[in-house]
Amino acid sequence: MFLYMETRETMMHVSSMLPFSPPPDAPPDHLRRLMDEIRASPIVHRPFNLKLRTPELLVNPLQAWVEDRDVDLEYHVRRSALPSPGDERELGILVSRLHGQPIDFHRPPWEVHLIEGLEGGRFALYVKVHHALVDGYSAMKILASSLSHDASDRTRPLFFSLEEPARVRSDGESGGLHFPELLAAVRAQVGTSKSVLKALVNMARSSRSRELVSPLHAPTSILNRRISRNRRFATQSFETARMRAVAKAANGTLNDVILAICAASLRKYLGELDALPDAALVAMVPVNVRPKDDAGGGNAVGAILASLATDVADPSERLEAIIASTRRAKEQLQGMSKAAIIQYSALLTSPFMLQLLPGAMGRVRPVFNLVISNVPGPEQPLYFRGARLEAAYPMSIPVHGLALNITCNSYAGTLDFGFIGCRDTLPHLQRLAVHAGDALPELERAIA
């Protein structure tokens, strides 16, 4: 799917922007030494040494990952600089431009940019990986594994030089697939289809319910127009403890508060553009369906649809409506297997492809208005060569019909939001981040 959707305007890579504070003992040429050391890495491990077998034809029956035995780190690892002293706005402009550049599929589909010139000797890493190679969950785990909890650790290599963990085969597990296993898989698939059909019937019966959102609920909005290749990126951070306190007081979850902050920001932003729909905006919320201790790799993501209640003026009532909506959506998934959740999610979101038909963009009712996702990250401070990671801002994928994507990542007691959108479709996108900063205090006052 991610290869099929790759075009000049809809580039299917995900990224992270990671600002660092330098170590106290950093020499003047710290970043030059760091770049030389990174590029001198002798080995690039899987999956970062994999490239496409047929890069000229992304979608074909013979497509597969093949090993690149001569990865050119001079190409993949790059050094950039802001006019010193650079500020956050200039950093945002630079990574927006980097995010608007396509991946070269003739090479392993990833890049690392070391950005220097920030005030006080600070620097940033911008890491770009194509979504066909890893999903956001895997990317965050891999990236975190290349950082250290110890500020004195100055030897840990970056993610592409870390060896992939060996998979331990359980007792009695063989390399082949035998007939009893095949029969069990068929039976499981039959059970999966039954549970998915039941969930779809429940949704059809509740099509007029405000709580259980169906693909018929989302209103037409400027968020669902065609996009250009140009991107704009903005950030915002919140203390996780404050957000959890709001969730507890409202009898909701942390994800509910995330949606409420996004809803408040969107309501104000679209209101300023005189483009706020009368009906509530609908978000597609990815759901991780991996076991708790899964090491990651590949893609394993389900989805729910949730009302953002942007038609509700009162912040407290809006949060209540969001909680009711996500609760009903999660009830649909209860009792489903991992395979059933993925199958149900695919059917739930599949009408989105109709929006991509020529002439349909902006004319047909969208299945959902935007994607809002929360990727769990490390809860302890991390360091890279003694430099402290300040935040971890995720950057996801705008596509035709979805001009805005909001992703947040938890890190060391904060939730870091990344707002990424089409620069031409959504003007002054940075205002979304400003309005999001006002939304949490507004919620705290509303539930006090």
Catalytic residues: 131
What spatial distance separates the first Cα and last Cα of the chain, rounded to whole Å?
45
Q: Judge contact between 416 and 379, C-beta under 8 A.
A: no
Cα separation, 56 vs 418, whole angstroms: 32
CA–CA dist 319, 387 (Å, integer): 38
**What is the dihedral sign for C-alpha 144, 150, 156, 158?**
positive
Between CA 161 and CA 240 the distance in angstroms is 32
User: In angstroms, what CA-CA distances link 243 with 220, 255, 319, 348, 437?
Assistant: 30, 9, 12, 29, 12
Q: What's the rounded Cα separation, in Å, for the pair 426 and 200?
A: 34
Q: In whole angstroms, what is the distance from residue 336 CA to residue 198 CA?
A: 11
The span from the CA of 375 to the CA of 411, in Å, is 10
Rounded Cα distance, 16 and 411, in Å: 13
In 87-175, which ranges are continuous DSSP H helix?
88-99, 136-145
CA atoms within 13 A on the CB side of 164: 13
Q: Are 426 and 404 in contact (CB under 8 A)?
A: yes
Separation of alpha carbons 321 and 309, rounded Å: 6
- Look-up: residue for tokens 């509700």? 312
CA distance 124 to 144: 15
In order of 74, 81, 123, the CA distances from 31 in angstroms are 16, 11, 8
- Report the SS3 class of residue 14: strand
